Structure 1
Amino acid sequence: MQTGPVDNEIINRVLQGEQALYAQLVKRYTPFVFTIVLRYTANREDAEEIAQDIFVKAYRSLADFRGESKFSTWLYTIVTTTCITFLRKKKVPVHSLDTEQIFDLADNQNSTFKANQVEQKSKVQVLNEALRLLSIDDARILALFYQAEQSLEEIGRILGVEPNTAKVKLHRARQRLKEKMETHFAEVVEELRG
């Protein structure tokens, strides 16, 4: 739920000299950007650095935003190109955590959390780990649809494919995610079903 001025209004006001309003866009889209960046790098410090770089690039390019699509769609393009450039420069190795490490991490959470909050967080962590096991293309389309809440038409525009092709890619990515969850995180899948 978006409160306050809509993105295009904020952008127009920033371009007219009210630069401080850009902070509203940063606040609004930080979770979106950070979630996608974490798909490319599991290192939180790198992710924070990349996210900051993305918002600087977006600010510098704000005059190029034409409003033909959602701001999030335009921003997503900057996110992916920045992440890919970072990975090429750094040549980051991809690692996956095994199930035991994930549950150890969940068990070591601050004890002031309620039990269900820790359980919910561990399920989110497991889902994020399963997403990291997918190809970048599969993780990207799932993030666009579920986390960025982009329509199939917008996803098609971002990926340069027809909406029906985006729908097929999304369906296949869901299937592969389901397979990864059942293969690597069977206990969590059983808990979710039960």
Structure 2
Amino acid sequence: MQTGLTDNDIIQLVRKGDQQAFAQLVTKYQNYVFTIILRYLPSREDAEEVAQDVFVKAYRSLGDFRGESKFSTWLYTITTTTCITFLRKNKLDVQSLDNEKVFAQADNMDGGMRANQVEQKSRVAMVNQAIKMLSPEDAQVITLFYKGEQSLDEIAQVLGQETNAVKVRLHRARQRLKEKMEKYFAQEVKDLAHY
């Protein structure tokens, strides 16, 4: 396996017939893709299935990648489209907010989350947990900016919005993330501040 290659170098190798080179892209981006998928699909089995589909689609469509954006931006688009297609095909059960059982389940989930806080001391796990509490729109922009390392311009391109609108959206999402961190992880945040 060759190292020190850029994504575009690897893509060129794959296009020239080196199918094994694609494994480097899979290794590099598998956590990124899986994190995005889990925003859409709570089931780990479904997420694993969709992740495989994403990389198969990316491999088959690699000839269409023009290099006008980062590979990760292009891969993000494939990932979200694949998730939405999966959700449409499976028509996941949607519950009415009027249903009292939904509120009971939400209360149980909240109680479980508080119990798990003690076990999740790592900074990454704590932040990921807080991101899951955000709306899908906030989680999306936070994930693209921090985990996907996308620029504001690249995020604007992915979302089909103006760069300034993305900047405002990211600022607001950060504020809401901070509020979640302070509300649900107050002690952990204090502990981290002492390091």
Compute the TM-score of the two structures, normalised by the length of structure 2. 0.81
For the residues of structure 2 that align with 1:12 and 1:92, how far apart are their CA atoms?
Answer: 42
Q: Which residue of 1 aligns with 2:99?
A: none
For the residues of structure 2 that align with 1:154 and 1:31, how far apart are their CA atoms?
Answer: 20
Indicate if the aligned counterparts of 2:114 and 2:184 stay in contact, CA closer than 8 A: no
Q: Which residue of 2 aligns with 1:119?
A: 121
Per the TM alignment, residue 182 of structure 1 is displaced from its structure 2 partner at its CA by 2.4
Indicate if the aligned counterparts of 2:121 and 2:188 stay in contact, CA closer than 8 A: no
Per the TM alignment, residue 62 of structure 1 is displaced from its structure 2 partner at its CA by 0.7
Residue 98, structure 1, aligned to residue 110, structure 2: yes
The 3-state SS of whatever aligns with 1:98 is helix
Indicate if the aligned counterparts of 1:133 and 1:180 stay in contact, CA closer than 8 A: yes
**Distance 1:154-1:37 versus aligned 2 partners, 3 A rule:** same
Per the TM alignment, residue 87 of structure 1 is displaced from its structure 2 partner at its CA by 2.4
Unaligned runs of 5+ in 1: 108-117
**Distance 1:132-1:89 versus aligned 2 partners, 3 A rule:** farther
Indicate if the aligned counterparts of 2:145 and 2:155 stay in contact, CA closer than 8 A: yes
For the residues of structure 2 that align with 1:99 and 1:163, how far apart are their CA atoms?
Answer: 38
Q: Percent identity?
A: 57
Indicate if the aligned counterparts of 1:50 and 1:83 stay in contact, CA closer than 8 A: yes
Per the TM alignment, residue 52 of structure 1 is displaced from its structure 2 partner at its CA by 1.0
For the residues of structure 2 that align with 1:49 and 1:102, how far apart are their CA atoms?
Answer: 30
The one-letter amino acid paired with 2:110 is D
Q: Which residue of 1 aligns with 2:189?
A: 189
Q: Which residue of 2 aligns with 1:57?
A: 57
Of the structure 1 ranges 56-65 and 174-183, higher mean CA displacement relative to structure 2 is found in 174-183
For the residues of structure 1 that align with 2:187 and 2:118, how far apart are their CA atoms?
Answer: 14
The 3-state SS of whatever aligns with 2:67 is coil
Residue 66, structure 1, aligned to residue 66, structure 2: yes
For the residues of structure 1 that align with 2:117 and 2:193, how far apart are their CA atoms?
Answer: 23
CA displacement 1:53-86 (0-9 Å, x = unmatched): 1000101111110011111110010011111222
Indicate if the aligned counterparts of 1:130 and 1:181 stay in contact, CA closer than 8 A: yes
